[in-house]
Amino acid sequence: MSGISIPKQTATIALSQRQKRFLKALLYHVFVGIIGLAMLYPILWMVAASFKESSEIWTNVRALLPETLRFENYTNGWKGIGGITFTTYYKNSFIYAGLGTVFQVAASAIVAYGFARVDFVGKKLWFTLMLATLMLPDQVRMIPQYIVFDRLGWINTFYPLLLPRLGGAPFFIFMIVQFIRGIPTELDEAALIDGCSKSGIFFRIILPQLKPAIITATIFSFYWTWDDFMTPFIYLTRPELHTVSVALRSFSDPASATDWGAIFAMSSLSLLPVFIIFIFFQRYLVEGIATTGLKG
């Protein structure tokens, strides 16, 4: 009998320890989960409000879920401002964010290869200068750039938004340089012996291996361009050239705005591309920030 009672005792101890661990885990998940939910709550609230009737949004502010799911806010909101629909705004945003991202990332990759794999006179100096420009406030470049673009008659064209992007971006150049430095040089050397040129090495050997770095740079470049307000706001002043971010701001002007359901609908919709990319490429995002300390 006593032989049975001893394992029974240890069993209860083990169980209570497991219970303890379970309790600890539960506490952790409740605590971290609730804070996480609180973090997301404003966004969830806005998305929920976009399905509510405009009057319902403010009469029962605390309620998260709408009484009835309404899509009218989206159709009403899409009509836009002064006869210009969001179709136009999205088209403009996709021109800026699409071309801008492609230009910026492609140029950054090419420049990064030069800095990472070719030895040329003055490389160190230029690289240091490039890193120094990371700390420059945009405001110090903005005014002369505007004056010149204005003189060229390029206000209300996409040139001032897209041309500077053909030079790449220091953040992405630095990130891709770091990535290339991690690629072993054996393949380069072998290709060099086989008579491959530097540009051949870049396109045939380095570029295919750069995929993760390029994806990360593309995502961030797209995010920042999609969200960019200042540049299109200054240069694209004609309403039919407004991007989504600029249009949203006029759309939601407190002095004239009344249809809050439609405003929240269009705001939520503008975040959709960002969320879709986030869901599918989360890994690249997290690694990109963690390894290079990207801003955001």
Partner 1 sequence: MGGRVASLETASPLDRIRARWFTRKTQYSLSRNNLVGYLFVSPWLIGFFLFSLIPIAASLVLAFTDYDLLGNDIRFIGLENFDRMFTQDLRYWKSVNATLRYVFFAVPLRLTFALGVAMLLNTKRRGVYLYRAAYYTPSIVGGSVAVAVMWRQIFGTDGLVNALFGLDVRWYGDPKYALWTLITLAVWQFGSPMLIFLAGLRQIPNELYEASSIDGANAGQRFLRITLPMLTPIIFFNLVMQTIQNFQQFTQAFVITGGNGRPLDRTLLYPLYLYRRAFVNYEMGYASAMSWVLLLTIAVLTAVLFVSSGRWVFYHGDNR
- Look up residue 132 and give its two tokens: 């120094």
**Complex with partner 1: residue 11 or 136, whichever CB lies closer:** 136
Of residues 14, 26, 129, 131, which one binds partner 1 by CB under 8 A?
129
Site string for partner 1, 214-233 (x = CB under 8 A): ---------xx-xx-xx---
Task: Compute the least distance from the CB of residue 114 to partner 1, in Å.
Answer: 3
Q: Which stretch binds partner 1 (CB under 8 A): 2-10, 73-81, 93-101, 259-267?
A: 259-267
**Complex with partner 1: residue 45 or 78, whichever CB lies closer:** 45
Site string for partner 1, 33-72 (x = CB under 8 A): x-xxx-xx-xx-xx-----------x--xx----------
Contacts of 93 (CB under 8 A, 6+ apart): 226, 243, 244, 245
Q: What is the CA radius of gyration of the chain?
A: 27
Could you give the CA distance from residue 86 to residue 235 in angstroms, rounded to a whole number? 19
Reported as type and span, the H/E element at residue 228 is none
Task: Compute the least distance from the CB of residue 86 to partner 1, in Å.
Answer: 13
Of residues 133, 152, 182, 204, which one binds partner 1 by CB under 8 A?
133
Number of residues binding to partner 1, judged by CB under 8 A:
95
Measured torsion, CA atoms of residues 105, 109, 114, 117, in degrees rounded to the nearest 10:
160
Q: Which stretch binds partner 1 (CB under 8 A): 10-18, 78-86, 163-171, 209-217?
A: 163-171
Of residues 18, 20, 123, 204, which one binds partner 1 by CB under 8 A?
123
Could you count the other beta carbons within 10 Å of the beta carbon of residue 70?
A: 18
Site string for partner 1, 78-117 (x = CB under 8 A): -----------------------------x--xx-xxx--
For the segment 12-31, give every residue that binds partner 1 (CB under 8 A).
25, 28-29, 31
DSSP state of 10: H
Task: Compute the least distance from the CB of residue 82 to partner 1, in Å.
Answer: 18
Q: What are phi and psi of 90, to 5 degrees?
A: -65, -40
Task: Compute the least distance from the CB of residue 11 to partner 1, in Å.
Answer: 25
Could you give the CA distance from residue 117 to residue 203 in angstroms, rounded to a whole number? 13
Return the residue matching tokens 């006179």.
Answer: 121
Q: Which of 96, 70, 91 is nearest to 80 (CA)?
A: 91
Q: Which of 292, 252, 273 is nearest to 80 (CA)?
A: 252
Task: Compute the least distance from the CB of residue 63 to partner 1, in Å.
Answer: 10
For the segment 276-295, give every residue that binds partner 1 (CB under 8 A).
278, 282, 285-286, 289-291, 293-295
Q: Is the dihedral of CA 247, 249, 252, 255 positive or negative?
A: negative
Task: Compute the least distance from the CB of residue 178 to partner 1, in Å.
Answer: 14
Give bridge partners of residue 81 from the DSSP assignment.
84
Q: Are 245 and 93 in contact (CB under 8 A)?
A: yes
